[in-house]
Amino acid sequence: MTAHPLPVSSPAAQGVDARGVQAFLDAIEAAPGVEPHGLMILRHGRVVASGWWAPFTADRPHRLYSISKSFTGSAVGFAIEEGLLDLDARVISYFPEFDADITDPGSRAMKVRHIASMASGHLSETVVQAHAIDAEEPVRGFLLIPPDREPGSVFAYNQPTTYTLGAIIQRATGQTLTEYLRPRLLDPLGIGETLWERDRAGRELGYSGLHAATDAVARLGQLYLDKGVWEGEQLLPASWVAQATRAHVDNSDGSPEARNSDWAQGYGFQFWMSRHGYRGDGAVGQFCVVLPEQDVVIAITANTDLMQSVMDMIWEHLLPAFGPEPVSAAGQDAAESAEDAALRERLSRLVLPTVEGEAAPADTEAWSGVRFAPRDGEAEAQPSLTAVQLTADGDGWILTLDQAKDEDEPPFALRFAGTGWAVAERPAVPVPTAVSAGWTDADTFVAELGFLETPHHLTLTCSLAARDFTASWQGKPLRPTPLSSFGVPR
């Protein structure tokens, strides 16, 4: 289905001060450890600001990590409306084949509403333990871990709860999450291609692994802001939206620090409560912030481990920019129009920083054809990367990344000429990858690699004298995987 563009308006026409958006851009671009990829701000249902930092683009799917949970939660709302799911049913009732194995009273008492609200009774994350118990069926592994407390009484952010929730939906509907959501949510909202990572059993993960464009995040947020209504039609039950976006379990320890944490304001059904409004979010900087009081949705895709810092920037710069009504006072239109135009111009030319260095070394022959090995003691930074080679190629260079042969991983051959971003697409490389590279001195070559369908960014530094390289992540992946997995699942 071809997505219809969201309606667009100037910031001033929707009561948004463009200077606040500019201040947010200043802050997020200047913040160490924050690499923005995409931004969309909707006010009164209209896009008032949007932009993507090259080499990222508007139409490219991006790994959303735990924003996947909010899509899974939406599937729960549809399934309840269709009589396929009951929040008060015991989880074990959907898996009768495990009934004899699950003997702990707490596990047997666990209800669907408990796993939907991260209140299974466990006090900590159980994903590693669940897979260790039963890698083929993580639901069974999870249910074999006795809860520490009575289900419903305590909060713990716990991946197997949402995995189990997604497994129940897939079992109850006989479809994958994508198949179930496509006619009910994705197509009606005009969300184009989405791809969802699956486990070894072929089940879509539910708690993570969804790849979609920033626009999809914005559309989901707008649907929830409008209480499940889209273009005049009640798609998602309003009762589900109300339940999903209020706190069901306290996740604050009552400390002064918790008052200023957007991760200690309560948890709903696959949504976090925030100091203002509520949100879905995903690891390494993915956000779907919904502000009902301001009638605003903010969608951000990024690469950062400093997620509270991003939320702080939103509250400091964007929140005050949402005025109570459009700016229309006499004499203000021209000034506001100029500010809006300046913002649009800036948003149209966003670009991530590139390597500060020379486009070619002083001695091409000394560098061309050299293979660099992992520096001693640092190979674990990227376990599957075994060698790096540079080869002069006409007016440019080819950077080749070799991966572990026992994983049968194909090499990456990335061509660059100059230090600006160069993008390689499939099938030339296993996954879409951008490279900015250059020589920072006679002995040092640096390459910044962006894996464009994920948040992740790898920095390579090669030493000619030592014939070795180091590899360091900005936004470290949640688990070690080959570089060829850093793209949409196909």
- Same-domain pairing of 327 and 375: no
- Same-domain pairing of 368 and 344: no
Q: What is the pLDDT of residue 383?
A: 58
**158 is a domain residue:** no
- Same-domain pairing of 63 and 208: yes
Return d(Cα 320, Cα 294) in angstroms, integer. Answer: 10
Sequential pLDDT tens for the chain (490 residues) = 446 899 999 999 999 999 999 999 999 999 999 999 999 999 999 999 999 999 999 999 999 999 999 999 999 999 999 999 999 999 999 999 999 999 999 999 999 999 999 999 999 999 999 999 999 999 999 999 999 999 999 999 999 999 999 999 999 999 999 999 999 999 999 999 999 999 988 999 999 999 999 999 999 999 999 999 999 999 999 999 999 999 999 999 888 888 899 999 999 999 999 999 999 999 999 999 999 999 999 999 999 999 999 999 999 999 999 998 775 544 444 455 799 999 999 999 999 999 999 999 999 999 999 999 999 876 555 557 889 999 999 999 999 999 876 666 778 899 999 999 999 999 999 999 999 999 999 999 999 999 999 999 999 999 999 999 999 998 888 887 888 889 998 7
Q: What is the pLDDT of residue 482?
A: 84
Q: Which of 279, 313, 348 is the last residue of a domain?
A: 348
**106 is a domain residue:** no
- Same-domain pairing of 437 and 326: no
Q: What is the pLDDT of residue 2?
A: 47
**476 is a domain residue:** yes
- Same-domain pairing of 336 and 468: no
Q: What is the pLDDT of residue 253?
A: 84
Whether the Cβ atoms of residue 24 and residue 317 lie closer than 8 Å to each other: yes
DSSP annotation of 198: B
Q: What is the span of the domain harbouring residue 457? A: 364-485
Question: What proportions of the chain, in percent to the nearest 5, are helix, strand and coil?
Answer: 30, 25, 45
378: domain CATH number is 2.40.128.20
Q: Which of 348, 377, 399 is the last residue of a domain?
A: 348
Count of domains for the chain: 2
What do you get for the CA distance between the two ends of the chain, in Å? 19
Whether the Cβ atoms of residue 161 and residue 138 lie closer than 8 Å to each other: no
335: domain CATH number is 3.40.710.10
- Same-domain pairing of 255 and 337: yes
- Same-domain pairing of 309 and 182: yes
Return d(Cα 165, Cα 160) in angstroms, integer. Answer: 8
**236 is a domain residue:** yes
54 bridge partner residues: 351
Element (H, E) at 339: helix 333-348
Task: List the beta strands (DSSP E) in 98-254.
Answer: 195-196, 210-212, 229-230, 233-234
- Same-domain pairing of 447 and 480: yes
**152 is a domain residue:** no
- Same-domain pairing of 378 and 327: no
- Same-domain pairing of 295 and 375: no
- Same-domain pairing of 192 and 50: yes
Q: Which of 292, 316, 348 is the last residue of a domain?
A: 348
For 266, the 3-state DSSP assignment is coil
Q: What is the pLDDT of residue 324?
A: 87
**148 is a domain residue:** no
**353 is a domain residue:** no
**219 is a domain residue:** yes
For 457, the 3-state DSSP assignment is strand
- Same-domain pairing of 237 and 368: no
